[in-house]
Amino acid sequence: MHSKGSKLAAVRKKGATQVDAQRTNILDAAERRFLQLGLEHTTMADIAEQAGITRMTLYRYFRDRDTIAFEIAGRMLQRVISINIPASGGERDWEARLLVRLKDLALAMIRDFDALRDAYRYLGMFDRLYADRYPTEELATWYKQHMQAIWYERHLEGLPVSGVSEGVLAPEFPYGKHVLMTMNAVMSFLQRMAARGELMAAEQGVPLQDQLNLFDEMIGMYFDRLIASLPRTDPPTDDEDGRSRG
């Protein structure tokens, strides 16, 4: 016979599962409406209608549209950053390993454009809506911490602390600013292609896929240049060691 405690625990577990399912349902519905109508034109009433719930129920889970928009931005970043990339290996030191890893990520972001197009389009809308400031310090802090956690878990974990701190490239990492600007350029290009790719192809006379291929080549070459220019830290060869003792 089950005790009262075990029955209560089962009820609580079931309730938590239902809450999680409803929360996911709301976020899925909001994502569809945001992509359909645009962030700035979507209301809480639109989201409730898409989710098949009342506005009263919606407000039990989310206090406003901004909170939902930020959660979905975190979702989209998770999809982008979590794409599969080749396992790096054989590089001479951790700096080279990290650059190779980030190069592979950037190229995968470009090559998986079709699968990630909705994510890029949403993140572009998000950046435009919150171009000047975030609505609250609480959301700004959550978003920053969420991005850092995703980056660290997926691409930075296991690298030396001297180069990575709390999910962020430390100042002493060679070419840290170069990498940051390059990844920003990749994201901006892909957001623009996601929003206006076919129009730009028609205006400029360069097919969308050709633009993606050329950009892939450019970014790959730039990372290769950074990797090649890292200072070498190889141990001395036998000949070099002998000359130094002589």
Q: What is the CATH number of the domain that holds 50?
A: 1.10.10.60
3-state secondary structure of 168: strand
pTM above 0.95, yes or no: no
- Residue 56 shares a structural domain with residue 110: no
Structurally, the chain folds into a number of domains equal to 2
Indicate whether 240 belongs to any domain. Answer: no
Q: Which domain holds residue 21?
A: 7-62
- Residue 34 shares a structural domain with residue 140: no
- Residue 221 shares a structural domain with residue 182: yes
The distance from CA 227 to its chain's CA centroid, rounded to whole angstroms, is 23
pLDDT of residue 85: 82
Indicate whether 25 belongs to any domain. Answer: yes
pLDDT of residue 246: 46
Do residues 163 and 173 touch, judged by C-beta distance below 8 A?
Answer: yes
- Residue 107 shares a structural domain with residue 42: no
Indicate whether 120 belongs to any domain. Answer: yes
- Residue 139 shares a structural domain with residue 107: yes
pLDDT of residue 82: 85
| Structure-derived torsion over alpha carbons of residues 44, 191, 78, 22, reported in degrees to the nearest 10 | 20
Q: Give every CB contact of residue 140 below 8 A, 6+ residues apart in sequence.
A: 134
d(CA 52, CA 25): 9
Do residues 112 and 83 touch, judged by C-beta distance below 8 A?
Answer: yes
pLDDT of residue 137: 95
- Residue 128 shares a structural domain with residue 156: yes
pLDDT of residue 15: 47
d(CA 22, CA 240): 67
pLDDT of residue 95: 79
Beta bridge partners of 172: none
pLDDT of residue 92: 65
Indicate whether 15 belongs to any domain. Answer: yes
Indicate whether 239 belongs to any domain. Answer: no
pLDDT of residue 240: 47
- Residue 140 shares a structural domain with residue 208: yes
Rg (Cα) of the chain, in Å, rounded? Answer: 23
Profile the chain (246 residues) by mean pLDDT over runs of 10 residues. 56 57 97 97 98 97 97 94 76 78 93 98 96 94 87 66 52 76 95 96 96 98 94 56 47
- Residue 125 shares a structural domain with residue 101: yes
